[in-house]
C-alpha cells in the first residue's frame, strides 16, 4: 500500500504548436495552492542515463469554485526536445524505450510528481527516429500512478482484448507503423523462449492501419498438429514475416483506458488461459498449469509420493503405461511397442504419459498428465510400464510388475557410469543409476555393440533383449512408402526438392535452466538458403531438451520440425542427414542415404564433455565437416560428398545395424507379455 499527498494532478494532453510551426505536446493539469506562487518548471528525467531537461509551466489564476484550493497549469513541450535529448542507448537502440518521469519543480527545488487520477487518454505524437526508424511519444501512468512520458518506437495498441463465445481470443488494435508486407502475431514464452505464430488481418490506410487476430490458445497449429500453449507467460508481439530475428518485434500494449477489461480468463480443454498485462501495459497470455493446486509444490509432491507407496499394495491393473521422453512425445520405441500390443488385440488398457498437454495420443489411449495423482496411481498399479528414459528415483518395481526400458538410441556419447573420470561425472547421479536400473525387468539393446556399453553405463545386471530398436521397425514396414507420402503431405513439402534433415544434439555445457539447453546453431541458415534454397528443403529438428528460435526468412527453405512427434517419420522422408553426435546416425544408417557430420566442436565434445564410446573420427560413416561453408558446399551434392566414405558406411551398418530386422517390437512384446 502506497500513500502520498497529491499536490499536482494530470488532466489531459493534446497536440500544440509554438506559433512558428514547431510541434509540441501540451500537458494540462491542476496544482494545489500550497505549492506557492513562485515560478514552476516541468522537469523530465530519464533515470537510467541521467538525461534530463525542463520546460516552463504556466499557472492559470481563477480556478473554478469546484476546485477550491487548486489552480490550473499548462506545460508546452516541443517534440524536438525529446530527439535532441535522446541518450545513446548503444546497440539495439532502435527498439529502446526512453521513459521520462515528470516533476513540477518550484523555486526552492522541491520536486512534486504529477499524479494520474484515471486512465490516460490515448494519443500518439510522432518523433524523429534514427536510421529510418519511426518513433512516437506516449503518455502512461507509472507503477505508483504518476505521469510518465516515453520516447519509444511506434507501438501496437490493443483497444479490444476479449473472449468470444466459442473460445477464441479476439485482439484488435491500431499500429500506424505496420509494414506493407505480411505481419504475424507471435507469442513468445518468457522462460524458454519457444514461440507460436498466429495469422493477422490488416485493414485501413497507411498511418492509421488496424490489425485483428482471432486465435485459440488451446489449439495452436504446428508440424505435429494442434497443441495448446504450454504452461507459463506468453508475451505477444507483431513481427514482419521473414524477419531473421526478433530485433524489430513490436510488443502489443494495451492503453490505460482498456486496463479495466483485464484480466480476462477462459478455461479451455482443462486449462485456464488469462489475458493480462505486465510492465504496466504489455499484453500477455498466462497459460495456467494443468496440474491441480494439490498436485503442485513440494508438499503436494510429498503427499503424492506417500500415496504412491500406499497404492503399491493394491491389486495390479491390466494396463500398460507408456512414456516417451517423460511425456513430451508420442513417439520412439514406446510408440512401436504400443502399436504392436494394439495390433495383437491384447485385453489391456493403454495409458500414455503426457507432460503439460504437449503430446497428441491416438484414439483408444488415455492421457495421464506427468506429475498428477493419476500418474502416480499408474506407476503404482500398472502391470506393464514401457519407457525410453529413466523413471523417477522413488519408483520401485513391485512383484508382478513388468518394466521395459527401451532407451532412446544406441550410445555414441558416454552416459551414466561410463562418464566416471570425465568432466561430466556426477557422483550423486551416478549413485542413483544402479538403483534405477534395478527397477527394470528388461533392457532393449539396439545393436550388439550397445549391449555391453549399456550394461556397463547403467550398472545393469538383468536381462537384455537383443532385438534391435523397435522404433526402427518403421524402416522395414510394408506401408512405409504410404507413410512417407502422408508425412510429406502433412508438412506440405514441394515435389522435386531434396529434403535434408538437420538434427544436432544438445550441448550439456549450455544450460538455460528448467532442464533446457541453448540451441547454439552454428550453421549459417541465411547463407544455406542463398546457396541451396532453389532445390533443397532443410528440416531442422532440435533435441527434445533444446530450445531456441530458428532464423526463418519465410521463403520455405527452413522448416522447424522440432515439434513433429516422431523423428522416425522425418528420417523416412529425408534424402540426407546432417547431425553432429546424435544417436540418430545409427537409425538413419538403415536407409543407406548420405550422412554429413557438422563437427565444429569435435575436440571439445571428445575431450571435455565426456567423450565417445568408440573412435568416432575413425568410424564415422560420412565426412566430418567443421565449418558452415564446407557443410553448405557438401549439401550441394550429398552423394558426391560422401562417395569416399562408402566402405566406412558399410562397416558402420554392419557394426551398428546388425539386429534391426523389422521385428524388434514383436520380440519385445512377446517377452513382455
For residues 372 and 441, state if they share a domain: yes
pLDDT confidence of residue 94: 47
SS3 27: strand
- Residues 331 and 281 both lie in one domain: no
Q: Report the candidate in 79, 74, 92 with the shortest Cα–Cα distance to residue 23.
A: 79
- Residue 1 resides in a domain: no
pLDDT digits (tens, 9 = 90+) for 538-597: 999 999 888 887 877 778 899 999 999 999 999 999 999 999 999 999 999 999 999 999
Please check whether residue 274 lies inside any domain of the structure: yes
Residue where a domain stops, chosen among 287, 316, 343: 287
Q: Is pLDDT of 95 > 80?
A: no
For the stretch 495-515, pLDDT in tens is 999 999 999 998 888 888 777
Strand partners, 70: 32
CATH number at residue 167: 2.60.40
Whether residue 349 is found in the same domain as residue 319: yes
Question: Looking at residue 396, which CATH number applies to its domain?
Answer: 3.40.50.11820
Residues 6+ apart with CB under 8 A from 480: 474, 572
Are 481 and 630 members of one domain?
yes
In a domain, 298, yes or no: yes
Quick: pLDDT tens for 184-239: 999 999 988 889 999 999 888 776 789 999 999 999 999 889 999 999 999 999 99
CATH number at 609 reads 3.40.50.12580
C-alpha 671/C-alpha 673 separation (Å) is 6
Report how far residue 562's alpha carbon sits from residue 594's, in angstroms, rounded to the nearest whole number. Answer: 21
Residue 562 maps to a domain: yes
Which band of pLDDT confidence, cut at 50, 70 and 90, is reported for residue 65?
very low
Number of domains comprising the chain: 4
3 is a domain residue? no
Q: Out of 257-271, 425-439, 471-485, pick the least confident.
A: 425-439
Phi, psi of 287 (to 5 degrees): -95, 115
Strands 498-502 and 536-540: parallel
Tens of pLDDT, residues 142-187: 878 899 999 988 889 999 999 999 999 999 999 887 777 788 999 9
Whose cell is 561410463? That residue is 418
Q: How far apart are the first and last CA of the chain?
A: 65
Stated pTM of the model: 0.88
User: Pick from 264, 287, 310: which residue ends a domain?
Assistant: 287
Whether residue 387 contacts residue 368, with contact meaning beta carbons closer than 8 Å, is answered with: no
Please give the residue range of the domain that contains residue 463.
Answer: 294-472+663-669
Q: Are residues 168 and 90 in the same domain?
A: no
Sequence-distant (≥ 6) Cβ neighbours of residue 452 within 8 angstroms:
none
Q: What is the pLDDT of residues 268-321, one digit of tens each?
A: 999 999 999 998 889 999 999 999 999 999 999 999 999 999 999 999 999 999
Mean pLDDT in residue range 343-368: 96
Say what the pLDDT of residue 67 is: 57
Are 466 and 338 in a shared domain?
A: yes
Amino acid at each position: 500500500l502506497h500513500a502520498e499527498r497529491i499536490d499536482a494532478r494530470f488532466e489531459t494532453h493534446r497536440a500544440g504548436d509554438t506559433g512558428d510551426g514547431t510541434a509540441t505536446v501540451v500537458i494540462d493539469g491542476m496544482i494545489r495552492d500550497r505549492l506557492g506562487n513562485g515560478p514552476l518548471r516541468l522537469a523530465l528525467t530519464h533515470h537510467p542515463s541521467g538525461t534530463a531537461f525542463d520546460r516552463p509551466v504556466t499557472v492559470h489564476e481563477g480556478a473554478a469554485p469546484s476546485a477550491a484550493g487548486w489552480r490550473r497549469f499548462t506545460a508546452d513541450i516541443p517534440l524536438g526536445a525529446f530527439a535532441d535529448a535522446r541518450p545513446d542507448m548503444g546497440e539495439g537502440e532502435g527498439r529502446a524505450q526512453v521513459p521520462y518521469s515528470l516533476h513540477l519543480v518550484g523555486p526552492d527545488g522541491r520536486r512534486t510528481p504529477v499524479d494520474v487520477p484515471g486512465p490516460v487518454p490515448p494519443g500518439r505524437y510522432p518523433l524523429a527516429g534514427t536510421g529510418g526508424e519511426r518513433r512516437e511519444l506516449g503518455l502512461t501512468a507509472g507503477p505508483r500512478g504518476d505521469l510518465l512520458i516515453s520516447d519509444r518506437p511506434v507501438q501496437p495498441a490493443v483497444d479490444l482484448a476479449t473472449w468470444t463465445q466459442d473460445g477464441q481470443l479476439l485482439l484488435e488494435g491500431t499500429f500506424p507503423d505496420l509494414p506493407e508486407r505480411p505481419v504475424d502475431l507471435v507469442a513468445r514464452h518468457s522462460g524458454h523462449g519457444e514461440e507460436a505464430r498466429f495469422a493477422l488481418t490488416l485493414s485501413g490506410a497507411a498511418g492509421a492501419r488496424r490489425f485483428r487476430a482471432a486465435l485459440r490458445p488451446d489449439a495452436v497449429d504446428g508440424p505435429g498438429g494442434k497443441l495448446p500453449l504450454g504452461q507459463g507467460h506468453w508475451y505477444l508481439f507483431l513481427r514482419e514475416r521473414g524477419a531473421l530475428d526478433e530485433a524489430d518485434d513490436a510488443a502489443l500494449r494495451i492503453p490505460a483506458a482498456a486496463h479495466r477489461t483485464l484480466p480476462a480468463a477462459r478455461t479451455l480443454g482443462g486449462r485456464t488461459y488469462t489475458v493480462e498485462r505486465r510492465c504496466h501495459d504489455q499484453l500477455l497470455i498466462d497459460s495456467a498449469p494443468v496440474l491441480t493446486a494439490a498436485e503442485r509444490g513440494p508438499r503436494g509432491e510429498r503427499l503424492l509420493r506417500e500415496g504412491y507407496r500406499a497404492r503399491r499394495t493394491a491389486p495390479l491393473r491390466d494396463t500398460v503405461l507408456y512414456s516417451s521422453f517423460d511425456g513430451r512425445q508420442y513417439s520412439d520405441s514406446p510408440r512401436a511397442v504400443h502399436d504392436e500390443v494394439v495390433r495383437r488385440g491384447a485385453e489391456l488398457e493403454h495409458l500414455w504419459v503426457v507432460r503439460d498437454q504437449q503430446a497428441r495420443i491416438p484414439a483408444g489411449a488415455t492421457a495421464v498428465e506427468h506429475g498428477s495423482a493419476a500418474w502416480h496411481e499408474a506407476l503404482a498399479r500398472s502391470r506393464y510400464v514401457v519407457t525410453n528414459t529413466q523413471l523417477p528415483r522413488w519408483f520401485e518395481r513391485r512383484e508382478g510388475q513388468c518394466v521395459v526400458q527401451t532407451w532412446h538410441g544406441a550410445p555414441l556419447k558416454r552416459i551414466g557410469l561410463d562418464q566416471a573420470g570425465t568432466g561430466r561425472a556426477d557422483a550423486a547421479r551416478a549413485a542413483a543409476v544402479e538403483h534405477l536400473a534395478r527397477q527394470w525387468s528388461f533392457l532393449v539393446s539396439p545393436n550388439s555393440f550397445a549391449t555391453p556399453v549399456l550394461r556397463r553405463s547403467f550398472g545393469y545386471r538383468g536381462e537384455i533383449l537383443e532385438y534391435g530398436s523397435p522404433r526402427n521397425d518403421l524402416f522395414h514396414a510394408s506401408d512405409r512408402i504410404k507413410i512417407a507420402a502422408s508425412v510429406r503431405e502433412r508438412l506440405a513439402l514441394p515435389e522435386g526438392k531434396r529434403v535434408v534433415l538437420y538434427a544436432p544434439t544438445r550441448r550439456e555445457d549450455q544450460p538455460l535452466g528448467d532442464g533446457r539447453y541453448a540451441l547454439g546453431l552454428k550453421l549459417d541458415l541465411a547463407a544455406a538458403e542463398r546457396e541451396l534454397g532453389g532445390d533443397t528443403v532443410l528440416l531442422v529438428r532440435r533435441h527434445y531438451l533444446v530450445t531456441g528460435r530458428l532464423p526463418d526468412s519465410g521463403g520455405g527453405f527452413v522448416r522447424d520440425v522440432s515439434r513433429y512427434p516422431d523423428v522416425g517419420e522425418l528420417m523416412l522422408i529425408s534424402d540426407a542427414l546432417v547431425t553432429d553426435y546424435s544417436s540418430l546416425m545409427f537409425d538413419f544408417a538403415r536407409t543407406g542415404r548420405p550422412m554429413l557430420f557438422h563437427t565444429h566442436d569435435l575436440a571439445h565434445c571428445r575431450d571435455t564433455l565426456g567423450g565417445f564410446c568408440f573412435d568416432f573420427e575413425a568410424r564415422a560413416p560420412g565426412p566430418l565437416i567443421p565449418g558452415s561453408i564446407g557443410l553448405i558446399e557438401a549439401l550441394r551434392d550429398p552423394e558426391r560428398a560422401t562417395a569416399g566414405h562408402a566402405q566406412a558406411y558399410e562397416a558402420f551398418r554392419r557394426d551398428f545395424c546388425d539386429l534391426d530386422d523389422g521385428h524388434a517390437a514383436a520380440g519385445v512384446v512377446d517377452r513382455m507379455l
